[in-house]
Amino acid sequence: VAKVERRVAVFGAGYIGLVTGACLAELGHRVAVRDVDPEKVRLLRAGDLPIYEPGLGDMIARNKERLTFTLDLREALDDAEIAYVCVDTPPSASGDADLSRVWSVVTSLEGATHLRTVVMKSTVPVGTGARLRSVLDAAGLGHVGYVANPEFTAEGTAVRDFMRPDRVVIGSADEDTARLVSELHDGVDGPVVVMDVRSAEMVKLASNALLATKISFINEIATLCEKTGADVQEVAHAVGLDHRLGPHFLRPGIGWGGSCFPKDSEALRQLANNTGYHLQLLSAVIEVNNLQKRRAVQKLKDELGSLVGARVALLGLTFKPGTDDMREAPSAVLAGRLLAEGAEVHCWDPMARPAETDPWTATVRHASPELAVEGADAAIIVTEWPQLTEVDWARAASLMRRPVLFDGRNLLDPAEMRALGFTYLGVGRP
């Protein structure tokens, strides 16, 4: 636990803001989380979570003495020494990150008398820190430091990732500010790496781009495995045993999604374009990912012939298991493509609450995988929820009109599924 209790204001009660706020309180700091959404603040004050994240609810509950939620800017800033910016930076029409929420937080800091530093957790383009410095100076906050502190937490493991990170990156122009924010992390089990602001901003974008590259790479190898009779599961396993390459992010599937990879890879691509340099590798990584989602539907078409009138079950809708997040989920592309081909789409997911928007309004939701596959011509495992390994697949096969199973995450055993009567299609495996 931290040696000195600091007073912290966190702006934004989304995934990042809530995890940051809760973990800083757990480390012994006094934290006020401010959001502009009254419903979110009401829920949090009532002890409910607006999102699903394992361990986060308990952490908030046990720190309620040190952790408050407010709509009121002044209340949050009251005696705050450190202001964390944790608002979202969605893509804008030009493909650049939309920083309007970031600017609105920073301009609201004017007159915060106890403030010593602003910490940027939101993912921002390289160069944002320099622009923010000018805004702070103009607002009479020239004495306030600035730290780029990108976050590397993944949904589903966010609390653990914050408390036991591979690294904490602190980008700062001056030593005192870097020390202040470093010490705020006393009690966090992981190395602190201090660097300049621009480099810290780049670390975040480069890390996510490289992770996305690994996945797109193995997805391309999977496609080639299909064409050559190799098994990508064997290939990925043995490739990953090389310690220089590592076993992680080599799981082939139907493409990456979520609130980070799609947005950050596009933001990095545009950042490069803005400098007049075209990131060729990253552009290919993004294109491979787009193709991967479309290839899934093509595979089904090849198997069933026409999809007109076919009933297709999508099993798992969230962009990955262990979350209720539907942002940029590959399932939306699959559902949209299937509907466009004239199929009827039935879905199951244990957590997702798809919005009442296209394509989900045209699909049918079911309470269990078995109900979703009943009468179906094909089922696609879109998200590898562990519940799907516990399905009585023999019964599922008997309930389907045609037992065609496309295992988009290589979750099940092909031989076993075929023995149960399925036409089994995997990703890159015979």
User: Which amino acids are annotated catalytic?
Assistant: 260
Select from 38-46, 57-65, 149-157, 412-420 the region that touches ligand UGA (CB under 6 A): 149-157
Of the candidates 304, 295, 298, 299, the residue with the CA atom closest to the CA atom of residue 401? 304
Select from 30-38, 145-153, 170-178, 341-349 the region that touches ligand UGA (CB under 6 A): 145-153
The C-alpha atoms of residue 261 and residue 333 are separated, in whole angstroms, by: 16
CB of 203 to ligand UGA, least distance (A): 11
| Spatial CB neighbours of 398, under 8 Å, sequence gap ≥ 6 | none
CB of 176 to ligand UGA, least distance (A): 27
Q: Is 258 in the site for ligand UGA (CB under 6 A)?
A: yes
The sheet that has 378-381: what strands, in order across it?
A: 364-366, 344-348, 311-315, 378-381, 404-407, 423-425
| Spatial CB neighbours of 182, under 8 Å, sequence gap ≥ 6 | 168, 170, 192, 194
- Pick the binder of ligand UGA from 149, 208, 213, 331 (CB under 6 A): 208
Q: How far is CA 55 from the centre of its chain?
A: 17
Of the candidates 28, 5, 31, 27, the residue with the CA atom closest to the CA atom of residue 119? 31
Q: How far is CA 376 from the centre of its chain?
A: 31
Select from 244-252, 278-286, 344-352, 363-371 the region that touches ligand UGA (CB under 6 A): 244-252
The C-alpha atoms of residue 203 and residue 263 are separated, in whole angstroms, by: 15
Q: Is 289 in the site for ligand UGA (CB under 6 A)?
A: no
Q: Is 260 in the site for ligand UGA (CB under 6 A)?
A: yes
User: What is the SS3 assignment for 158?
Assistant: helix
Under 8 Å between Cβ of 95 and 267? yes
The C-alpha atoms of residue 372 and residue 382 are separated, in whole angstroms, by: 13
Select from 37-45, 147-155, 305-313, 336-344 the region that touches ligand UGA (CB under 6 A): 147-155
* 323 carries a ligand binding annotation: no
What's the full length of the chain, in residues?
A: 430
Token look-up 């990095």 returns 268
Q: Is 221 in the site for ligand UGA (CB under 6 A)?
A: no
Cis ω for the linkage preceding 430 (within 30 of 0): no
Kindly identify the residues of this chain, within the stretch 345-404, that bind ligand UGA according to CB under 6 A.
none
| Spatial CB neighbours of 175, under 8 Å, sequence gap ≥ 6 | none
Q: Is 146 in the site for ligand UGA (CB under 6 A)?
A: no
Angle at 218 between CA 377 and CA 322, to 5 degrees: 65
Q: Is 211 in the site for ligand UGA (CB under 6 A)?
A: yes
CB of 54 to ligand UGA, least distance (A): 12
Q: Which is nearer to ligand UGA, 8 or 169 (CB)?
A: 169
Q: Is 154 in the site for ligand UGA (CB under 6 A)?
A: yes
Under 8 Å between Cβ of 407 and 393? no
Q: Is 162 in the site for ligand UGA (CB under 6 A)?
A: no
Q: Is 155 in the site for ligand UGA (CB under 6 A)?
A: yes
Of the candidates 201, 158, 197, 203, the residue with the CA atom closest to the CA atom of residue 15? 158
Select from 21-29, 34-42, 252-260, 370-378 the region that touches ligand UGA (CB under 6 A): 252-260
CB of 381 to ligand UGA, least distance (A): 12
What character string, x for contact with ligand UGA (CB under 6 A) and - otherwise, covers 318-337? -xx-----------------
- Compute φ and ψ for 401, nearest 5 degrees: -70, -45
Q: Give how many residues touch ligand UGA by CB under 6 A.
A: 20
CB of 268 to ligand UGA, least distance (A): 12
CB of 292 to ligand UGA, least distance (A): 9
Summarize the annotated binding site for NAD(+) as residue ranges. Answer: 35, 40, 89, 123, 155, 263, 327
Residues of this chain that bind ligand UGA (CB under 6 A):
151-155, 208, 211, 215, 249-251, 253, 256-258, 260-261, 264, 319-320
Summarize the annotated binding site as residue ranges. Answer: 35, 40, 89, 123, 152-155, 204, 249-253, 257, 263, 320, 327
